[in-house]
Amino acid sequence: MIISIKPNVSQEDIDKLISDLEKLGVKVDRSQGATQTVLGLVGDTTVINDETVRANRHVDKVIRVQEPYKRVNRIFHPCDTVLDFQCGSHKAKIGGGSFAVIAGPCSVESREQVIAIAEDVKKAGAAFLRGGAFKPRTSPYAFQGMGGAGLDILLEAKKACGLPIVTEVMEISQIELFNDVDLIQVGARNMQNFNLLKELGKTRIPILLKRGIASTMTELLMAAEYIMAGGNDKIVLCERGIRGFDNFTRNILDLAIVPMLKKKTHLPVIVDPSHATGYSWMVPAMSKAALAAGADGIMVEVHNDPEHALCDGEQSLMPNAFAEMMATLRKYAEIENKNI
């Protein structure tokens, strides 16, 4: 961390600031120029809050050389994190040369629906089954998900089809229901629900952490740091689109975060093109782009009967479109030496 001091600050005030900073456990190098003084902090500056330093009335600007995250930082943990899953004889992997495909319906609606879709996506090559039991909805009058009963259906589908399951947790009291879930999703709206993150840090179940709708890359990594600081190092990051000024897609899919995250952290990174775009017809193109950009997998919505009801979801792929997409993704994966 480099701190530039405002002009005309007395030596006494600078000494006081240096002494305050050193109490936090860092060493301070002082560079006195003709017109400006610059302090260079050496040591573990992750314990220092930028804003706190910036608030000091003698400080002009603050520049962080080290990142504020530590456990998720590739610098301190150069090897890729790889997560292994086993469900009966079916093995799955996120990271480590795998391109993991997580597929399934947006919401769990019924046992039949989930098992039928699970079989379809498994046949097409999906490695994980997704489905929402607890659903965050903008309106209190909208369907809020089947809750615990939905979770039971997913667990049944897991047993029936042998796919590990991915589903969203919304609050602390639900965590105890998630013991047999393979990958617990933290949704975009909860990315900075710090109490929830801390509790998930105490479990040893893998966490799928989605980027908040207006979260910076650093905030996403700090959210992962919360989980990892609690002792749970099984984390997958997920880009799912951010809020922008146009609305031709539901959100803006920020694919360039994929290579940047791969550089900054050892955690695997996947992409959700369904929520990012909001249109099923765009999902194949953006899934291929995600693979090309270096993602470790994708999470896509698949539904088998969009004609049956109003809640089909324009963003859900039909099983045959999903299978077709998987065929092309395999060709892409081959070029990149990844396994689907």
E strand segments, 69-180: 83-87, 90-94, 100-104, 128-130, 165-169
Which of 57, 204 has the CB closer to a second copy?
A: 57
Is residue 301 a contact partner of residue 314, using CB atoms and an 8 Å limit?
A: no
Selection from 120, 117, 123 nearest residue 105 by Cα: 117
Which of 67, 120 has the CB closer to a second copy?
A: 67
Smallest distance from the beta carbon of 25 to a second copy, in angstroms?
A: 11
Which of 80, 144 has the CB closer to a second copy?
A: 144
Which residues, 6+ apart, have CB-to-CB distance to 16 below 8 Å?
none
Which of 100, 228 has the CB closer to a second copy?
A: 228
Is residue 131 a contact partner of residue 120, using CB atoms and an 8 Å limit?
A: no
Cα 27 off chain centre by: 34
Is residue 280 a contact partner of residue 317, using CB atoms and an 8 Å limit?
A: yes
Q: In whole angstroms, what is the distance from residue 57 CA to residue 44 CA? A: 23
Which of 161, 168 has the CB closer to a second copy?
A: 168
**Torsion region of 97: left, alpha or beta (phi above 0 gives left; psi -120 to 50 gives alpha):** left
Other C-beta atoms within 10 Å of 171: how many? 12
Q: In whole angstroms, what is the distance from residue 36 CA to residue 60 CA? A: 10
Smallest distance from the beta carbon of 77 to a second copy, in angstroms?
A: 16
Smallest distance from the beta carbon of 121 to a second copy, in angstroms?
A: 20
Smallest distance from the beta carbon of 238 to a second copy, in angstroms?
A: 16
Smallest distance from the beta carbon of 155 to a second copy, in angstroms?
A: 22
Which of 10, 141 has the CB closer to a second copy?
A: 141
Smallest distance from the beta carbon of 322 to a second copy, in angstroms?
A: 17
